[in-house]
Amino acid sequence: MILPPDEKLTQDGLAPTAAPSDGRVLLIACGALAREILDLKDANGWEHMALTCLPAILHARPEKIVPAVRAAVDKHRGDYARIYVVYADCGTGGLLEAACAEMGVEMVKGPHCYAFFEGNDRFAERAGDEVTAFYLTDFLVRQFDAFVWRPLGLDRYPQLRDTYFAHYEKLVYQAQTDDPALTDLARAHADRLGLAFERRVTGYGDLAVTLSDWAARR
């Protein structure tokens, strides 16, 4: 499948990739995960799993994530055999987990995508040593201006950079793919923020494990 541009995934999300059917599973995901989910689907032949994505920019307003997920589940519940929610907590303070439990749908475990890409257990082990780390994923490297630079007003007031990032020491690029161009771009973002740079190859982490488990439930 040809994905829409990252800007469209940021603002609009993604319509369902396959028509409803009695045996089909629907993944309701964050637009920031579309590329990774489709790569995993293609690599593993999960043809019975359809994908729809909510706008990735909802992460800038986490209070809107739960209502948007509820609306998507209600909209599609009657059209698919099962629905899974491909979000972690993502700043909802446990409200998304509670809503998913109420609706009877499963979601990805973890506090956020940085944790499940690295592996929730491994991320938790590092947490105490990385309170000064600022994380980017492949998607956020590509959409840095939309999610970091402009929302913080740094396009208009670049002098605020040192205030916002005074307590950060390094930018950790969690690489889902081995892409030299993305690595160069991530390093450039670290330079823009005045931070040291670390590239950490995570692959798809617990996202791959979770989707594999869901795909096997026929």
First to last CA, the chain: 24
pTM of the model: 0.94
Residue ranges of domains in the chain = 6-114+204-215, 120-201
Residue-wise pLDDT for 110-151, tens only, equals 999 999 999 999 999 998 889 999 999 999 999 999 999 999
pLDDT at 218: 72
pLDDT band at 186 (very low <50, low <70, confident <90, very high): very high
Report the CATH number of the 6-114+204-215 domain: 3.40.50
* Inter-residue contact 112 to 90 (CB < 8 Å): yes
Distance (Å, whole) CA 18 – CA 59: 25
Please choose, from the candidates 86, 182, 170, the residue with its C-alpha nearest in 3D space to the C-alpha of residue 126.
170
Tokens of 141: 């490297």
